[in-house]
Amino acid sequence: MPSKSTPITMDAVYTAPGYLFRRMQQIAVSIFVEECSAFDLTPVQYAALVAIHTHPGIDATRLSAVIAFDRSTLGNVIERLESKALIERKPSREDKRVKLLHLTKAGAIVLRDIMSSVERAQVRMLQPLKPADRKTLLALLMQLVDLNNEASRVPLRAEDALEHLGKSN
């Protein structure tokens, strides 16, 4: 319940950090989708492709930790990437129930080809700001994300996930 000194106004909503983060997320996704429209990928699908490229043979649980994305929702992302023939699932030698993820040749090509579009999207997101303000914003966002990692429904656990893979990069 708001305190008596805090008026109930839309300005209070429009200036709240959570609202601003949500709006910027909407804007960021919109710019990404527009710049990368030729590839028909979402930002999460792109992140999954990068993680699978970087860590071939990663399983879905570890992938979830590496990209900080909900494991149950990630299943849909993996299915979409597989249906687009960008990744393939192969059973683990140690445990046939575990499926390991690998880029296909088509996935590697898409990942290579999308990079300039992704870069354009990132530049567009920050374009309205002065160069010094871009650096400041990114530094502050990285600090906020790092310091609030444990408050996330899906905290980033890249190091833990990769340790189980036996890989360090």
Q: What is d(CA 72, CA 129) in angstroms, rounded to the nearest whole number?
A: 36
Q: What is the pLDDT of residue 163?
A: 63
pLDDT value for 161: 62
Residue 75, domain member (yes or no): yes
Taking residues 45-49, report their average pLDDT.
Answer: 98
Q: Is residue 2 in a domain?
A: no
The answer to the question of residue 151 being in a domain is yes
What would the pLDDT profile of 76-87 be if each residue is shown by its tens digit? 999 999 999 999
| Structure confidence by residue, pLDDT tens digits, 57-114 | 999 999 999 999 998 899 999 999 999 999 999 998 888 889 999 999 999 999 999 9
Domain count, the chain: 1
pLDDT band of residue 3 (cuts 50, 70, 90) is: low
CATH of the domain at 30: 1.10.10.10
Spatial separation of the C-alpha atoms in residues 30 and 7, rounded to whole Å: 32
Is residue 4 included in any domain, yes or no? no
Q: Is residue 6 part of a domain?
A: no
Residues spanned by the domain of 123: 11-168
